[in-house]
Structures are given as structure tokens and as C-alpha cells.
Amino acid sequence: MTAPDLEGARGASRKGRAFLNPDGSVAGQSFRALWRLMREARAPRWARPAPGSAFAPPEPPPPGHAAVTFLGHASFLIRLHGGPTLITDPIWSERCSPLPFLGPKRVRPPGLAFEALPRIDAVLLSHNHYDHCDIPTLKRLQRRDTPRILTGLSNAGLLRRHGLRDVVELDWWQAAPLPGGVGARFTPARHFAARGLHDRARTLWGGFALETAAGGRLYFMGDSGWGAHFAEIGRRLGPFDLALIPIGAYEPRWFMDVVHIDPEEAVRAFRDLRARRALAMHFGTFQLTREPIDEPERRLAAARAAMGIPESAFRAPGCGETVLVPLALA
């Protein structure tokens, strides 16, 4: 693996017990802003979309490639030739909520049945929000495969309370080895973490940059608002053969812009990250915010066209679709 340029890179800072964003800002919105949001009129609920084309189950990738399967929301199955099989932020639950009968309910089924998943070597867990850290799914994976879980600082306590023992906590820019000579490095994001009213920003959030032994590079953003950290990640760890970038959950902007990018910012991030190719995520599965279900994909297409980027370079995959990614030498 090549040595990244980490001179001057800083891990996460704290204010008291709370982590701060890369720019030093307090994570997330205030309770006053949340109260204003709750008083505003809500958008109509998403209708369940018509079923899309069925995709064939993913095959192992050929030499020099990664096979990346979009499972819905922020969940991807990543298979690296001669390396590990990974999954990002897995969720098979019907709701992303602390309660099984209340909260955002999925409108699309997962791209693969849980039973159809190959053996998972490691889970890349970006942060502890319910739509990214789904304890029932993680426990199913633990019972079946006992995968290692890579995540941000201070998340191990929650996971170990649920019987998940093989947990590696990482600070921003810190790396951990995976089988087959693959390295996973935790990267900064502008977001926040919480699972209740009293644990705001007590655990760290971020994304993951992967590098294979031959120099192939992939990036999984997790959740993030806009910031200079995208260009820093691209400079230090790029260029990336593939970036997995969120395009949804962004309205209203006055509230969501500090935690989620919109489609136009997603295209700017694609450029800043120095990605050769990108797949969209975090859209069309759970209604977390107020934009219509089809708007993120339409706005992605318009933003891409405005910047002269071809559809083949950055598109929204079908749920269950597998994309073969050539891994270029760095």
C-alpha cells in the first residue's frame, strides 16, 4: 500500500465530552431549530415506488476489480478480488427507529435478501444514527459471520452492550488493516451522532477510504454536510476509483445543510474528492426529510449536466444493482 500524505492531518477535537466537526463547529442543529422544524408543515408521505428491474445476484469480481452492490440507503456490499467482503452501514429492518412500530419505514426492500449475502468479513459503520447503525441487522451478522466492525471513537460501548465484541474504534485519519492487504482509514465528515436526547456528539462520525494492496482506492462518505474536508480527503487519500456519495435527505436546506449535502453539492464533492467514478446513495429508501422521492435523482442529473460530467461517471444505481469497478494503480 502507498503511504498517504497525512502530515498535518488532525484527529477529531472535542468540546467537553462532545466531538466537533472538522471546521470546529458544534455538531448538528440546535434544539430551537429542531422545534421550528417540527412546527412547519410536513411533506406528503412517499408512496411505495413501482418495483424496478430485478438484478442478478452478485458474482465475485474478476482480478483487478471490485464488485459493488447497492443494497439501499447507505448499505453497499463491496467484494474485492483476493480481499475481504465488506458491507457499509447495513440495515435490513423495516424502520430506522428506536421503536419497531414508529419512525421512518422503508419504501423499498433491500437490494438482496439477507440470506443471499455472502459471508461478510467486516462492517464499515459510519456513525450511530438509526438509519446507519441498525442493531438488529448487526446482531444477525454477528450470529452468522462474526465480522469485525470498524467505526468511529466511542461507538464500541453501544455495540458491545448488544453482544458485538470485535469492534475497532478509529479516530479521523486513523487506519486499520483488513484481510488481503486492504487498509481502511476513517475520514472526517461534517455531521453529528446521537441515539437519544442526552448523547449528542458523544461518539464520532465519519466515512471510510479503502486501499487495496495493489493501490486501488474506494471511498464511502457516510453522512456529511458540505465542507473543506472533501478536498482534503481527495488530496491526501485520492484519487479514488469509486466514491459512494449521498444525494438525499436535504430539505429544508435551512435545517439540513449542516449535516447533509444536496445533489448539487454531491457533484462538487465528486470533483473535490478526485473520484474517477461515483455512485449515489442515501435516497429513495427511507423518508427522512421533505423532498419528493424522485427529486434527488432528477437534481443529480441536472447538476451533473451543468458541470459537464457524463452520466457514466456519477449516477444513481438501481437497488440491487452490482457495478464492476476497475481498480487503477495509484
pLDDT tens per residue, range 137-164: 999 999 999 999 999 999 999 999 999 9
Task: Report the mean per-residue pLDDT for the chain.
Answer: 94
Separation in Å, CA 172 to CA 10, 22, 265, 317: 7, 9, 22, 28
| Residue 1: band (very low, low, confident or very high) from pLDDT cuts 50, 70, 90 | low
- Cβ atoms of 273 and 219 closer than 8 Å: yes
| Residue 2: band (very low, low, confident or very high) from pLDDT cuts 50, 70, 90 | confident
DSSP state, residue 23: T
Q: 319: Cβ–Cβ under 8 A, 6 or more apart, which residues? A: 52, 70, 71, 72, 108, 109, 110, 111, 284, 285
Of the candidates 190, 186, 269, 187, which has an alpha carbon nearest to the alpha carbon of residue 28?
190
Q: What's the CATH architecture for 54-325?
A: 4-Layer Sandwich (3.60)
Helix, strand, coil percent content, the chain, rounded in steps of 5: 20, 25, 55
pLDDT above 90 covers what percent of the chain? Answer: 85
Q: Where are the alpha helices (DSSP H) in the chain?
A: 31-39, 135-145, 156-161, 229-237, 253-256, 263-272, 295-306
| Residue 37: band (very low, low, confident or very high) from pLDDT cuts 50, 70, 90 | confident
Lowest mean pLDDT among 30-34, 45-49, 191-195: 30-34
Task: Give the integer Cα–Cα distance in Å for 290 and 311.
Answer: 26
pTM score, two decimals?
A: 0.96
For residues 127-139, give the mean pLDDT. Answer: 98
- What are the φ/ψ torsions at residue 289 (nearest 5 degrees)? -140, -160
Task: Give the integer Cα–Cα distance in Å for 96 and 311.
Answer: 31
Other C-beta atoms closer than 10 Å to the C-beta of 218 total 25
- Whether 34 has a pLDDT exceeding 80, the answer reads no
Our CA angle for 227, 284, 237, nearest 5°, is 35
As given in the structure block, the three cell numbers for residue 143 are: 450470529
